Structures are given as C-alpha cells and as structure tokens.
Chains A and B, each alone.
Chain A
C-alpha cells in the first residue's frame, strides 16, 4: 500500500517537474532569440554614430578603408537575386506541385515526394560548388561573357535550392482544396486544364503565396552558394552577367578580417539587421496570408 502511494507520488512529481523543464526550455529559447535580435540591432545601429543612414542605404560606394559605407549595391543585389530566383523557381515549383498533386499516378508521386525532400538535405556548399564548376563555365561559353559569375548564375542555383520549399508547400495547399469545388467545375463542363487553372490553383492561392514567401526568405538568407557564384563585387549590377554582391555574401566575405566594434564591423552587423528585418517582414506577411486561407 505504502509503496504504491510512494510510486504514485513520484509519478506526480515527475509530471510536475518535467512540465517546468519544458516551460523553462521554451522561455530559454525565446530569450536566446531576442538576445540575438537585440545584440545585432545594438551593434548594427552603432554604425549610425559614424555613418549617416542616407549614405548607408542610398549610396553604393563601399570602401570602408576610405570611410565610404554605401551598402546600396548589396541591398539591391540581395533583392534582385531573390526576385530572379523566384521568377525562375516559382513557376517550375508550382507546375511540379500541380503535377504531383493532381496528375501524377500514385507510384510516380511516391518516388517524387522523397526525391524533392532529398533536395533539402543537400548542403548549400554542394550547390555552390556544382554551380562553380558546371554552371559558371557553361554560362560563360554559352553567352560569350567574361566570367559567368554574377546575378544569373546565383539566381539559377538559388531557384534550384528553393524548389523543394515551393513544391512541398504548394502541393499540400493544392491537395487541401475541397474536392467538391473541383467536381463542380468538372460537372459544369470545364476541361481538366480549365479546372486546374481557374479553380484549383486560385483556391490554393494563400498556400501558394505562403510557399513563395517562405522560398524568398530562404533565398535572401542563402549565403554559401550565393557567395561562391555572385562574384562579390561591391558594384550595382548592370547586366545579368555582371558580378555583384548580396548582403549575405558581403558579410561572409568580410567578417573574418573586420575589426569588431569598428564602423566597418558595425556596418556588417547593420547589414545583418537589414536581412533580419526583411525576413521578419516576410514571416509577418505569411501570418496574414495564412489567416485568410480558405481551404
């Protein structure tokens, strides 16, 4: 009798303290994230003690040794390369998702789904390396340009990298479109293509937008592959093949040798803060779109 009671007490205590442990972990995690944001924000904003915001955001002369801290070319580089990768990757990904959700026979889908998941497991340095030894020489010879490094090379590799995100989220969104909608469309005499294009895809739109924004967040934060392919030239690109820089690539190339606490080091933190804010903005956007989901 006594032992049972004892065991029961132990179980209760276990129950109670493990719960505290979970709560503590959750708090700890939140604290870490906010500390990171706080630290990057504090360090980044210290840039403005020596550099005017107008110079940082609206000029593109990046020469820290000569006290020029114009980061415009990096910001434009990040945005343009992200946008280009979406333009290349989103239609492909959406088409793939439609195929997998609505057209492919079951066995094809069962091969393709794990295959797309496999994309995610490929480290970005591998993508970058493949881009460096295959894509860059190919672009150089195919288009007869100087080097092949630049926006297009980075955007193509990024497009491949964001495909799994787009495919898997779009597919889920398309699958969760209620069957009756589709059946009604077919019953009204719409062809398969008309049904897909005018009924299924619009109904899945919130999910598709979520996929695209998540993919953008992934693309803008990608560092290694971009750094290996974009050329890292601190100049605004004038063509698809002119080497330029992105925020991430410039941070990774310069941080190792940049004095911490100097205006130069701080301006790299400010770039990190800009990236963080862009990503946060995207996440907020997803929450708003997600709330409007019909399916």
Chain B
C-alpha cells in the first residue's frame, strides 16, 4: 500500500513531465517555423495551407521548385480557404491559399494578396437534360429558388434539383459574387462537400444542376453554356465568359526569402505557361485586365 501511495506521487510527476515535454516540443517546433522565414538566402521551410481547389496546382509547383532549390523545404496542406487565411494571419503558415477575396474581417490583419492563377467555374447539369444554355437571369432564378421546374427555362416538365456547395465554400462565394450579385441562394438544395461529390451527385440525379471548378467538369455531366458562351480559356481571356475568380496566395506582410521565391516561381512564365494550363486553370499572365 505504501508503495502505491508513493507511486501515485511519482506517477503524477511522470505525467507532468510528459505534459511539459509535449508542450515544450510544440513550442520549439513553432519557433523553428518562424525562424526560417527570416534568412534572406533561398533556403528554409515554407508552409502553406488553405484552398483544396489550388492543391492540384501547387503540388507540381512544390516539386519543381524543390528541384531548383534543394535547400528549401515546402509543405502544402489543404484545410479550406478560410483555414489558409487564418493560419497565415496567425503566422502559423507563411502562405495562406484562398479562392476568395479577403473578407472584411480580415482586412486589418496585414495580409498581402498575391493573385497567382485564374480559376474558372462552370455550371453543370445531369446529362439527360436537353437544356444546353442558361442566361445569367435564368441561373439567378434557379439558384434563388424562383424557378423550380425546367419547363420554365426552356426544358422539359421536370423538377430542378440544385446540388452545390456549403455556405462556407469558396466556390459558392464566387458564384454568389459573380452571378447572383447579392441575391441569396435558396436553402432548398442538396449540399455536397467537394467538387467531386457535387459532380457525382449531379451525374446520378435527373434534373440536377450545380457548379464546379472547370477542371472537374468531365464526360459524366453536361457543361452548360452561360449567357450563350461556351466555357473555354480563350472565352475567359477575351472577357466573354465571366464566371471565374482569382486564386490567391496570402502572406502576412510582404513575402520574404524562400516564401517570396516560391510565390515568384508560381507566378513566373515558365510555371504559368506549363503546369497552370495542364491543371485546368488559366495563367494570370494572360489576363489583360
């Protein structure tokens, strides 16, 4: 019994030590991440987090950049646009990737915007649907719930099912800004939590409509023309097709060192003209405005 009493004391000491060790462990790794931002030479660690839509683009950027600069270590994580902006504002990552413009709450946090790519969006519908084109007014009527049957927009007598993204989604924010222009989405919609899931659900639901990042629109669904314009990179560059947004990389204050080098690499013509188009995005360098 005596042993047990003593052991209690010892055990709590061990537990405390474990705890302290853990906290200390976390602390030191945080510091390390901060320290690496400072050196001016191109070496160190760059962490980025945020938009999942930008991931397929930044992965090859990371690989190519590390081939050029073998002393730089780049980590890219997902988590969502707001996660990225938050963590960049807190300083826990150097780069916050985001699909959306800086919201008002973030304006005072000292984040610097780097527009690195153009992300096009397309409206997609179930393949069986005979409708090929929707005007922006029709899209607004559908998305706000004013029109609930395809016959009202030139289709068959079939109920419209909206399948799209959650309220926190960057894609949804873009559509709200570029197409709905202040009108509110109806709540009568199926919500899926990723581009891929939206596409799958639309492909299997008759009369379904939604939107995805253009690279996700494949053979399983029908890509709708918007205001009579078929989506193509050229249509965006010429300004005819208006449903797109910039992909942003936010840094806390002006980027320096390896972070700056990495962003510069992403924006360089050699990257923009190769991988960006391959990933289904459009190079910012091609946008005149």
- Which residues in A have some Cβ–Cβ distance to B below 8 Å? 16, 19-21, 23-24, 27-28, 31, 62-66, 132-133, 136-137, 140, 146-149, 227-228, 231-235, 243, 245, 252-262, 264
Contact = CB atoms under 8 A, between A and B. Distances in A.
Most A Cβ at <10 Å: residue of B8, B83, B191, B208: B191
A184 B193 CA distance: 58
Contacts of B8: 23
A254 B166 CA distance: 6
A21 B79 contact: no
Interface stretch (B11-19, B210-218, B250-258): B11-19
A133 B7 contact: no
Contacts of A27: 11-12, 15
A147 B19 contact: no
A133 to B, nearest CB: 7
Contact of A231 (B11, B81, B190): B190
B10 interface: yes
Interface stretch (B110-118, B167-175, B229-237): B167-175
A65 B166 CA distance: 12
B172 to A, nearest CB: 9
Contact of A20 (B7, B191, B206): B7
A24 B15 CA distance: 5
B200 to A, nearest CB: 7
13 contacts: A20-B11, A23-B14, A24-B15, A24-B18, A146-B159, A147-B205, A147-B208, A231-B191, A232-B191, A254-B166, A256-B52, A257-B81, A259-B105
B187 interface: yes
Contacts, number: 110
Contact of A235 (B14, B19, B188): B188
Nearest to A264: B168
A260 B83 contact: yes
B11 A256 contact: no
A253 B159 contact: no
A16 B10 CA distance: 11
Contact of B80 (A63, A132, A256, A261): A256
B7 A233 contact: no
Most B Cβ at <10 Å: residue of A140, A148, A149, A252: A149
B190 A65 contact: no
B18 A28 contact: yes
Nearest to B12: A27
Given A146-B161, A253-B193, A23 B11 contact: yes
A256 B79 contact: yes
Contact of B3 (A16, A24, A62): A16
B33 interface: no
A124 to B, nearest CB: 15
B192 interface: yes
Nearest to A64: B167
Contacts of B12: 27
B82 interface: yes
A21 B14 CA distance: 8
B204 A136 contact: yes
Contacts of A231: 190-191
Contacts of A19: 7
A24 B19 CA distance: 11
Contacts of A24: 11, 14-15, 18
Contacts of A255: 80, 168
A137 B193 contact: no
A62 B167 CA distance: 9
Contacts of A252: 193
A258 B103 CA distance: 12
Contacts of B11: 20, 23-24, 27
Given A24-B11, A24-B14, A27-B15, A147 B190 contact: yes
B86 interface: yes
Given A20-B10, A227-B193, A257 B188 contact: no
Contacts of B190: 147, 149, 231-233, 243
